[in-house]
């Protein structure tokens, strides 16, 4: 990864502090600016405090002490968040790696005359020294500054704070409410000039699915990915899966792998190529699932791991359907090489679906991924959501060297329209079309290879049968 970043016209990189938050370092091209100020802006519930808390926890994991100073959250609430995310704050506190300061002002207190914020700065400085901290999060300072009720003084105090943090060489994250347009046109606009990096969070509902998004508004002295990235808060913390990588790092195609159907291996000049992505497309009842299951059983028997994501059927229904063509999925599962995960597409948003898949890939380490069927992914929200999900999933597979096999249910007679329709053709290397033709009172099954990148392949349409010993290709039409 490190060398690749350099290629990214980023030779004059400033010094950065890895956040340790999944995906964020990739978006930021390395992390937050070291010994400098980063602003995280966002409305209520967008995840500002969680990002701050995670930044401190990930630091503590690397033995880098950090302090979280919040003017808004109650201490027990913060501890509850941490607990839900499986972060052991108490342990890090005992090891002097984390300190939480909850500086909520007692609402019962009486105000009499002018005051200043020196105490909080003194407390912060004292904690920084005693922990030897190099990460600091200042959460919701606006709540505190507003007590001054004087814009000029609010600015002056923020400048003092900023100077102190910078002089101490602290990598600081400050959370601010609202979106950047409002903040920077309001009396906090100077914050934008003080910060070297500004991140905007928001949460939007589109097609009834609510998605959190993150965008880097500015990053002084560094390149970064400017797109908007959806993210999710999981039980492991914040999780961002960048949609598009700055540079494609796909593995080259490898050797041919048997499709599990010897006749098909011949048509494909040996089989599916390792690290490639194959799409099997056809209307209902054309045998798409039978093709992918033939492959799953064959690969499992050879001791290679397959992750099967099913958006249409349950395991029980799938295994019983595959009994008739003689495909024993249960046996394949018993080898431990086949992992079946089924879910309703509409049950979660795409981020949750993606994270579920990514997490299983990480745990199970499959060599192959089957998605049955990508057409059902539209039910995750929209065609765009399906495209987004599949593009990121396939990109991830190609980057880590997983060979993928997708099925697509088409409703039009000409399945070719559907492939360009879902717009994934740039990541799909091989397309196999299946169809049922009606002639002389019976159906004939046909198969054709529409494309196969970097390979000679049969250009003819072939007939095939699904027998009780699997798929057999009969011959050219």
363 part of the interface to other proteins, by CB under 8 A:
no
Residue 274 has which token pair?
């390792």
Cα 424 to Cα 363: distance, rounded to the nearest angstrom: 27
Question: Scanning the structure block, which residue is given the tokens 């949609």?
Answer: 243
110 part of the interface to other proteins, by CB under 8 A:
yes
114 part of the interface to other proteins, by CB under 8 A:
yes
Question: Scanning the structure block, which residue is given the tokens 């999060």?
Answer: 137
Of 165 and 394, nearer to other proteins (C-beta) is: 165
CB of 113 to other proteins, least distance (A): 4
6 part of the interface to other proteins, by CB under 8 A:
no
Q: Interacting stretch for other proteins, rule CB under 8 A, among 15-23, 35-43, 100-108, 436-444?
A: 100-108
- DSSP letters along 349-391, please? -HHHHHHHHHHHHHHH--SEEEEE-GGGGGGGSSHHHHHHHHH
Q: Comparing C-alpha atoms, which of 462, 459, 430 is closest to residue 273?
A: 430
CB of 55 closer than 8 Å to CB of 197: no
Of 110 and 205, nearer to other proteins (C-beta) is: 110
The residue from 9, 12, 111, 152 that contacts other proteins (CB under 8 A) is 111
Specify the DSSP class assigned to residue 107.
T
Of 9 and 111, nearer to other proteins (C-beta) is: 111
The residue from 62, 84, 91, 126 that contacts other proteins (CB under 8 A) is 126
Pairing of β 277-282 and β 403-409: parallel
Of 147 and 248, nearer to other proteins (C-beta) is: 147
Question: Scanning the structure block, which residue is given the tokens 């300190």?
Answer: 99
Residue 347 has which token pair?
């049950």
In the sheet that holds 461-467, the strands lie side by side as 338-342, 306-310, 368-372, 403-409, 277-282, 430-439, 442-452, 461-467, 470-476
Of 122 and 323, nearer to other proteins (C-beta) is: 122
Helices 383-400 and 350-364 meet at what angle, rounded to 10?
A: 20
Of 3 and 149, nearer to other proteins (C-beta) is: 149
Helices 383-400 and 415-422 meet at what angle, rounded to 10?
A: 80
Within 13 Å of residue 36, how many CA atoms lie on the same side as its CB?
21
Cα 240 to Cα 223: distance, rounded to the nearest angstrom: 18
The residue from 8, 10, 34, 101 that contacts other proteins (CB under 8 A) is 101
Q: Comparing C-alpha atoms, which of 165, 196, 263 is closest to residue 40?
A: 196
Q: Interacting stretch for other proteins, rule CB under 8 A, among 118-126, 284-292, 312-320, 323-331?
A: 118-126
Q: Interacting stretch for other proteins, rule CB under 8 A, among 38-46, 107-115, 213-221, 280-288?
A: 107-115
Chain residues 136-165 in contact with other proteins, contact rule CB under 8 A: 144, 147
Q: Interacting stretch for other proteins, rule CB under 8 A, among 121-129, 132-140, 307-315, 458-466?
A: 121-129
CB of 98 to other proteins, least distance (A): 15
Count of residues interacting with other proteins (CB under 8 A): 25
Chain residues 233-292 in contact with other proteins, contact rule CB under 8 A: none
Checking phi first, is residue 135 left (phi over 0); if not, alpha (psi -120 to 50) or beta? Answer: beta
Of 115 and 206, nearer to other proteins (C-beta) is: 115
The residue from 6, 122, 151, 344 that contacts other proteins (CB under 8 A) is 122
CB of 111 to other proteins, least distance (A): 5
Of 156 and 233, nearer to other proteins (C-beta) is: 156
Of 14 and 123, nearer to other proteins (C-beta) is: 123
CB of 342 closer than 8 Å to CB of 333: no
437 part of the interface to other proteins, by CB under 8 A:
no
CB of 311 to other proteins, least distance (A): 52
Q: Interacting stretch for other proteins, rule CB under 8 A, among 29-37, 119-127, 292-300, 419-427?
A: 119-127
Of 147 and 344, nearer to other proteins (C-beta) is: 147
Pairing of β 98-102 and β 66-70: parallel
453 part of the interface to other proteins, by CB under 8 A:
no
109 part of the interface to other proteins, by CB under 8 A:
yes
CB of 329 closer than 8 Å to CB of 296: yes
What are the CA-CA distances from residue 443 to residues 269, 438, 439, 440 (Å)? 28, 4, 6, 8
Given the rule CB under 8 A, which residues bind other proteins? 101, 103-106, 108-120, 122-123, 125-127, 144, 147
């Amino acid at each position: 990864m490190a060398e690749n970043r350099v290629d990214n016209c980023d030779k004059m990189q400033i010094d950065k502090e890895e956040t340790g938050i999944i995906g964020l370092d990739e978006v930021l091209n390395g992390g937050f600016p070291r010994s400098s100020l980063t602003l995280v802006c966002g409305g209520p519930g967008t995840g500002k405090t969680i990002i701050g808390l995670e930044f401190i926890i990930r630091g503590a994991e690397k033995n880098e002490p950090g302090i979280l100073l919040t003017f808004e959250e109650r201490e027990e609430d913060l501890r509850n968040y941490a607990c839900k995310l499986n972060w052991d704050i108490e342990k890090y506190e005992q090891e002097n790696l984390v300190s939480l300061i909850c500086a909520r002002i007692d609402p019962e207190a009486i105000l009499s005359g002018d005051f200043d914020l020196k105490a909080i700065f003194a407390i912060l400085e004292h904690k920084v020294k005693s922990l030897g901290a190099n990460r600091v999060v200042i959460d919701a300072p606006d709540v505190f500054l507003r007590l001054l009720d004087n814009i000029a003084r609010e600015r002056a105090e923020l400048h003092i704070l900023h100077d102190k943090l910078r002089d101490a060489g602290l990598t600081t994250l400050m959370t601010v409410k609202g979106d950047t347009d409002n903040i920077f046109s309001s009396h906090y606009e100077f914050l934008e000039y003080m910060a070297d990096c500004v991140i905007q969070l928001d949460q939007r509902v589109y097609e009834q699915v609510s998605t959190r998004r993150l965008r880097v508004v500015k990053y002084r002295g560094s390149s970064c990915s400017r797109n908007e990235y959806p993210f999710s808060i999981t039980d492991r913390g914040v999780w961002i899966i960048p949609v598009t990588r700055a540079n494609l790092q796909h593995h080259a195609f490898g050797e041919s792998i048997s499709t599990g159907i010897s006749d098909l291996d011949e048509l494909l000049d040996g089989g599916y190529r390792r690290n490639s992505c194959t799409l099997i497309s056809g209307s209902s009842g054309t045998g798409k699932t039978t093709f992918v299951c033939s492959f799953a059983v064959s690969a499992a028997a050879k001791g290679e791991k397959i992750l099967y994501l099913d958006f249409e059927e349950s395991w029980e229904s799938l295994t019983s359907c595959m009994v008739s063509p003689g495909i024993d999925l249960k046996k394949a599962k018993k080898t431990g090489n086949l992992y079946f995960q089924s879910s309703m597409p509409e049950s979660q948003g795409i981020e949750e679906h993606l994270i579920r898949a990514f997490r299983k890939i990480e745990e199970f380490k499959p060599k192959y991924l089957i998605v049955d069927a990508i057409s059902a992914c539209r039910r995750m929200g929209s065609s765009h959501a399906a495209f987004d999900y599949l593009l990121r999933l396939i990109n991830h597979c190609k980057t880590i060297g997983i060979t993928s096999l997708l099925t697509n249910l088409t409703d039009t007679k000409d399945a070719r329209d559907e492939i360009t329709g879902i717009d994934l053709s740039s990541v799909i290397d091989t397309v196999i079309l299946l169809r049922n033709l009606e002639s002389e009172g019976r159906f004939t099954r046909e198969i054709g290879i529409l494309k196969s990148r970097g390979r000679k392949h049969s250009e003819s349409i072939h007939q095939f049968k699904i027998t009780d010993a699997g798929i057999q290709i009969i011959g050219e039409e």
